[in-house]
Structure 1
């Protein structure tokens, strides 16, 4: 009996801890820490619904979650994932949007005790007046990329001042979100209900009346390769955005140099650092803060496994000894110049001679070697704990346009058995 009395306090503690995950006190679905129920290196599909089916029988799914991901700041079994601008294909001098009214959105997902991924909530993104936005490109002067929008029949669509091609997401403890995109590129602050609070851009747009902006050089981003990843330092003081690929600064240049932006949320001051990719034309798809100086970065190609050498890498980077390459004048169109050349025009040898060092980087994990990763677009990292990642792909709403002719096709994974690509979670153990 004495032994039982001794154990009772510990049993009570265990029961109390367990109840936190057995009941969320709202009558909603149960969520648990993924480490308790998910198998490592295993595919778990995110739920979806069919938006519409084309006359050719192609399913357009919603779906689409995986352009970016972030941990719920307080609930360990839950995470947020974001869609991009919606289903689209290349067409003429722009993009065809088969569901032109689609609104980019945030999904709140949970892992259940049974090891399933469930969608608990959708948050549609809205303009400052509370009206749902679209993923249609911005007009000139508002963040235009030069892409002309068309509907499914090939008719030109009107531009959207508040349109967003969302790619990176941060969830704060106050319930609000910061999102980066590929148009402006914009960094936009949204309320917990998805209403725009502030929009910051390199072209002087500032919805929110705070007069803050991104350095003008970021306006040189390539169409569809803008600020692909967005993270935040653990103290929530500084947003950290990473450009997907080399910017066209001043012309169409494709090298292995990309930029990282630090944006102090209190002061609006910025810093810039250089990141050196393993090869030209790769994509940096996500950045996640580990400390105020260390981050995880996705660096990938756009290939499916089995189509030759494939890269789906996650690196740990450190900016401690990297050079801040901010221009003396933040409004300078081309940014810092070296020997009258932009940084994108300069070789790494020239940059080193000028005393410029990129961030240091070390490989954390190779998802193809670890999991056989079948998807083309690794785009989201969810930091589960200090040694565990949730990795999510973008399934492009299950559609593609392989011939760049505007004809919508089903996005099928390579293999002997035809399988429609689906946004999926993989739990990965790694040392970082």
Structure 2
């Protein structure tokens, strides 16, 4: 497997092979840079009640609302849930919960204030079959996932054709939003007021939603995701014309064993400058070897640094985190996989098992959360803003899972987590932002 070349002296790469994309990251930080500086934390102290004895939470991305470093957009995920005894089941503690886009403010007292809430809705003239209103839910659409929703008592809940597990968020210059959903690798477009109008899905998908434009432009192979492990990381170029969407984990390609064995993940580039979105690129990078959690690491957040250059997260789900690292990945010299044989689910061997014939994105570590003393966990949103004299302000938000750790004997076990934003200053030279 070859690697695109970048500035700085590269480290020696290990021998590539079917299950060894690379033994090391190919570009290293200069060793004379000072460590990141922690500049503050903000906590959502009194979560608004959402019913069922639970509070608002699940913050799953972070997008600057302006240049102040004080106000951001975030999105809640599908609502309070927990693992069930059956692997394909998921317990929904509030089935009628409506995911929301939130505008938050970081207060001078260290608190987080919600200054605007935008509940997501179905198109005008339509009714969500679960809520009986225009407000949609986080219950899965059957056409995009085999995950089965159940209630506390184990009763099977209805599917929702409009449902989404909202994870990544971007806001375009016209005020509208794109959201990535883990259900079947899908991307959804909402108006500035939160009305769904367009959904992007993999080729060959049977997904439909009344009143919604469905475009099957993602590669068919993208349907080979594990349940609830679809597209999660999402970002947009500074000019608002190009989306980048990253897989949460490796594809189950050709099977679920490959998802644990592989270290290859894909990123998609999508032109949204016109009324009809168009897929314009598909790239891959090698994630770090996950020996601690047996394939349990996730990429939950990405941020745009420049054309085909992204800040990409790899993390565990522990509180506090043991492994949360951000790397700059440059796809400028990487192989464009779009329309190639690697998009065909029948290709043998699958790219996820042997990527030796393609050039992966060049990767350079930027931030190690544990080494920087971050005590938060499950970071699901990252945001960068230019600082002074070439420094960069890095903001990270942790998903508290609505405070739900598990369900045991029909009783919710709290996880003790909070919704929190942390800010670090990265030294000059650590990363370069292109704001053209």
TM range (shorter): 0.7 to 0.9
Structure 1 position 390, deviation (Å): 1.1
CA contact (8 A) 1:199 1:206 kept: no
Alignment-derived partner of residue 193 in structure 1: 193
CA distance in 2, matches of 1:81, 1:371: 24
Alignment-derived partner of residue 157 in structure 1: 157
Structure 1 position 127, deviation (Å): 1.5
CA contact (8 A) 1:90 1:406 kept: no
Q: What secondary structure sits across from 2:221 in the alignment?
A: helix
Q: C-alpha offsets along residues 182-225 of structure 1, whole Å, 9 cap, x if unaligned?
A: 00211111011100121111126476547452111111111121
Cα gap change, 1:287 to 1:189, in 2 (>3 Å) = same
CA distance in 2, matches of 1:166, 1:210: 17
Specify which of 239, 242, 248 is matched with residue 243 of structure 2: 239
Specify which of 381, 395, 398 is matched with residue 393 of structure 1: 398
Specify which of 302, 327, 330 is matched with residue 317 of structure 2: 302
CA distance in 1, matches of 2:44, 2:264: 33
> Unaligned regions of 5+ residues in structure 1, if any?
1-38, 54-58, 412-419
> Unaligned regions of 5+ residues in structure 2, if any?
1-36, 127-133, 432-436
CA distance in 1, matches of 2:381, 2:337: 27
Specify which of 398, 406, 412 is matched with residue 408 of structure 1: 412
Cα gap change, 1:372 to 1:128, in 2 (>3 Å) = same
Cα gap change, 1:212 to 1:52, in 2 (>3 Å) = closer
Specify which of 85, 88, 111 is matched with residue 81 of structure 2: 88
CA contact (8 A) 2:301 2:381 kept: yes
Q: Does 1:104 align with 2:99?
A: yes
Alignment-derived partner of residue 334 in structure 1: 345
Aligned positions, number: 362
Runs of 4+ in 1 over 6 A off after TM superposition: none
CA distance in 2, matches of 1:406, 1:224: 23
CA distance in 2, matches of 1:324, 1:406: 48
Q: Does 1:275 align with 2:285?
A: yes
CA distance in 1, matches of 2:108, 2:63: 21
Cα gap change, 1:406 to 1:325, in 2 (>3 Å) = farther
CA contact (8 A) 1:41 1:371 kept: no
CA distance in 1, matches of 2:251, 2:108: 44
Cα gap change, 1:406 to 1:277, in 2 (>3 Å) = farther
Cα RMSD after superposing both structures: 2.3
Q: Pick the structure with greater CA Rg.
A: 1
Structure 1 position 402, deviation (Å): 7.7
Structure 1 position 159, deviation (Å): 0.4
Structure 1 position 406, deviation (Å): 6.4
Structure 1 position 364, deviation (Å): 1.0
Structure 1 position 385, deviation (Å): 2.7
CA distance in 2, matches of 1:396, 1:117: 17
Cα gap change, 1:157 to 1:42, in 2 (>3 Å) = same
Alignment-derived partner of residue 324 in structure 1: 336
Q: 1:341-356 alignment to 2 at 5 Å? A: 341-346=349-354, 351-352=355-356, 354=357, 356=358
CA contact (8 A) 1:89 1:406 kept: no
Alignment-derived partner of residue 370 in structure 2: 368
Alignment-derived partner of residue 38 in structure 2: 40
CA distance in 2, matches of 1:174, 1:163: 24
Q: Does 1:289 align with 2:289?
A: no
CA distance in 2, matches of 1:269, 1:421: 38
Cα gap change, 1:358 to 1:206, in 2 (>3 Å) = farther
CA contact (8 A) 1:392 1:424 kept: yes
Alignment-derived partner of residue 418 in structure 2: 422
CA contact (8 A) 1:249 1:342 kept: yes
CA distance in 1, matches of 2:362, 2:289: 16
Cα gap change, 1:424 to 1:154, in 2 (>3 Å) = same
> TM-score, normalised on structure 2?
0.77
CA distance in 2, matches of 1:401, 1:313: 26
Q: Does 1:262 align with 2:269?
A: yes
CA distance in 2, matches of 1:135, 1:210: 18
CA contact (8 A) 2:376 2:398 kept: no
CA contact (8 A) 2:43 2:112 kept: yes
Q: What secondary structure sits across from 2:336 in the alignment?
A: coil
Alignment-derived partner of residue 8 in structure 2: none
Q: What secondary structure sits across from 2:301 in the alignment?
A: strand
Which has the larger helix fraction? 1
Q: Does 1:167 align with 2:174?
A: no
CA contact (8 A) 2:153 2:410 kept: no
Q: 1:53-132 alignment to 2 at 5 Å? A: 60-65=54-59, 67-72=60-65, 77-91=70-84, 92=86, 93-129=88-124, 131-132=134-135
